[in-house]
């Protein structure tokens, strides 16, 4: 059986996200997506047998997701073929690196990534909880501000100093897609009111002690990063919670290097996201050469 991979058109048949009882991507992958992309489909003589989605998350970084192959034809190299075609599209748009996130328990997908030349880059947990009701706990010694875009470099410097960004090698997840933090990105998030910072009071007034990058998608506020001093994290999380309740969010989803880093929030009932109950492994490959 020969399989060709081509770019999908709006009318193309596509495999569903859940195939062979396994989810190729999280339920919210489209709702949380930040940028458009390209769907590729693998087709044999008579039908669609696979698919992958490719997005450019910056001028030089690509993100692959929703890789899936029909169970009838598993083990014939079609996933690797889809990944290679996805990389070719990414290269054509100028990407020098490609990444994807794989649930830590999905060994088949990790085997595909390894076979295609990807190396593990970082690990991440994604946890969810209903938004706490009632007044949020906002410590008095961590005043929270929506910084103006002119403070982008301060915020970026702070974020780069956090354990979260050290563990993630300066990558941040927006939606499910990680990309390198950059000044333009931080400035854009500040302009869009998608960042909050807790500042030090007193002698150090104005210096950032904690920060969050977040957005509301559907019923969820998605926190891409939340790090800093314990009172600062509590203050930022409390303020985000109060702000997004007005936008009708009822749950929070947080990306973090490890669950322990969120203990200070004292939120009962964090549950792992069902797509990645043991967390995510982000893998990457250079597309140079």
Ligand X SMILES: CC(C)(COP(=O)(O)OP(=O)(O)OC[C@H]1O[C@@H](n2cnc3c(N)ncnc32)[C@H](O)[C@@H]1OP(=O)(O)O)[C@@H](O)C(=O)NCCC(=O)NCCS
Q: Which of 5, 79, 164, 181 binds ligand X (CB under 6 A)?
A: 79
Q: Is 78 in the site for ligand X (CB under 6 A)?
A: yes
Stretch that binds ligand X, among 62-70, 183-191, 226-234, 257-265 (CB under 6 A): 62-70
**What is the C-alpha separation between 289 and 281, in angstroms, rounded?**
25
Of 65 and 243, CB closest to ligand X: 65
Is the alpha carbon torsion for 76, 78, 84, 85 positive or negative?
Answer: positive
Please give the residues from 161 up to 190 whose contact with ligand X meets the rule CB under 6 A: none
Q: Is 64 in the site for ligand X (CB under 6 A)?
A: no
Residues 6+ apart with CB under 8 A from 43: 3, 4, 5, 6, 49
C-beta of 175: minimal distance to ligand X in Å?
15
Of 3 and 240, CB closest to ligand X: 3
Of 78 and 197, CB closest to ligand X: 78
Strand ranges for the chain from DSSP E = 4-7, 18-19, 22-23, 37-43, 48-56, 61-69, 97-103, 119-130, 144-145, 171-174, 177-180, 195-199, 208-217, 220-228, 251-256, 271-272, 280-286
Q: Is 102 in the site for ligand X (CB under 6 A)?
A: yes
Q: Is 24 in the site for ligand X (CB under 6 A)?
A: yes
Q: Is 76 in the site for ligand X (CB under 6 A)?
A: yes
Count of residues interacting with ligand X (CB under 6 A): 22
């Amino acid at each position: 059986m020969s399989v060709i991979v081509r770019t999908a058109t709006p009318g193309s048949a596509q495999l569903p996200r859940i195939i062979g009882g396994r989810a190729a991507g999280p339920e919210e992958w489209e709702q949380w997506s930040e940028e458009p992309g390209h769907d590729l489909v693998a087709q044999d003589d008579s039908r669609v047998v696979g698919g992958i989605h490719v997005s450019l998350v910056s001028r030089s970084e690509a993100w692959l997701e929703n890789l899936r192959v029909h169970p009838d034809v598993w083990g014939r190299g079609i996933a690797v073929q889809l990944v290679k075609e996805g990389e070719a599209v990414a290269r054509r748009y100028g990407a020098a690196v490609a990444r994807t996130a794989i649930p830590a328990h999905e060994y088949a997908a990790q085997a595909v990534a390894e076979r295609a030349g990807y190396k593990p880059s970082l690990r991440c947990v994604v946890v969810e909880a209903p938004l706490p009701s009632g007044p949020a706990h906002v410590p008095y010694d961590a005043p929270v501000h929506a910084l103006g875009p002119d403070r982008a470099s301060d915020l970026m410097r702070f974020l780069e100093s956090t354990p979260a960004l050290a563990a993630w090698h300066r990558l941040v997840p927006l939606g499910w897609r990680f990309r390198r933090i950059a000044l333009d990105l931080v400035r854009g998030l500040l302009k869009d009111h998608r960042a909050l910072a807790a500042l030090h009071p007193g002698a150090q007034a104005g210096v950032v002690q904690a920060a969050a990058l977040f957005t509301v998608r559907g019923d969820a506020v998605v926190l891409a990063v939340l790090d800093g001093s314990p009172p600062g994290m509590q203050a930022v999380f409390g303020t985000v919670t109060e702000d997004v309740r007005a936008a009708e969010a009822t749950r929070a989803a947080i990306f973090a290097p490890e669950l322990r880093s969120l203990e200070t929030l004292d939120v009962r009932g964090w549950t792992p996201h069902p797509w990645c109950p043991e967390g995510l492994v982000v893998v990457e490959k250079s597309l140079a050469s």
